[in-house]
Amino acid sequence: MAVQENADRRKFYNNEDCPVRNVVAQIGDKWSLLILFALVDGPDRFNSLKSRIEGISQRMLTQTLRDLEREGYVNRTVYPEVPVKVEYCLTEMGGDLVKPLYQLVCWADDHQEKIRSARQAYDKRS
């Protein structure tokens, strides 16, 4: 958690109560945002998600969906059919989460070239 210790600087603690570590670390991995944004389109099945998220392995999709379900962002529904049908969808909290994240994605899209240029300039200096 960030605590204001003086008028100028916050101090960040490495503990379970820190929202930066507790929330952002989970959604800031390589795949979580992509899965959340794929589910914005509506409920989807595992293989459909896998085909829509290029480069994700079956193991990583499984683990990331479990993590997102554990956090309360994704709901997993098993339908009693033969063969068994499983769908994933955003929970209300997951839907609320993607709203501010959409702003971040738009910002990243708008600034992608500037970021790329900054990286290249930095790499040339190094």
| pLDDT over 90 at 72, yes or no | yes
DSSP for the chain, written as a single string:
-EEE-SSS-EEE--STT-HIIIIIHHHTSSSHHHHHHHHTT--EEHHHHHHHSTT--HHHHHHHHHHHHHHTSEEEEEE--SS-EEEEEE-HHHHHHHHHHHHHHHHHHHHHHHHHHHHHHHHHH-
Q: Is there a domain that residue 4 lies in?
A: no
Is a pLDDT exceeding 60 seen at residue 7?
yes
In a domain, 8, yes or no: no
Residues 77-126 pLDDT 10s: 999 988 889 999 999 999 999 999 899 889 999 999 999 999 999 999 98
DSSP sequence for 29-48: SSSHHHHHHHHTT--EEHHH
Residue 5 maps to a domain: no
CATH number at residue 100: 1.10.10.10
**Looking at the predicted structure, is the pLDDT value of residue 6 above 70?**
no
pLDDT at residue 5 is higher than 80: no
What is the extent of the structural domain holding 118? 19-125
Residue 100 lies in a domain: yes
Q: Is residue 29 part of a domain?
A: yes
Total tally of structural domains belonging to the chain: 1
Q: Is residue 1 part of a domain?
A: no
Flag whether 40 is in a domain: yes
pTM: 0.80
Residue 13 maps to a domain? no
Predicted pLDDT at 63:
97
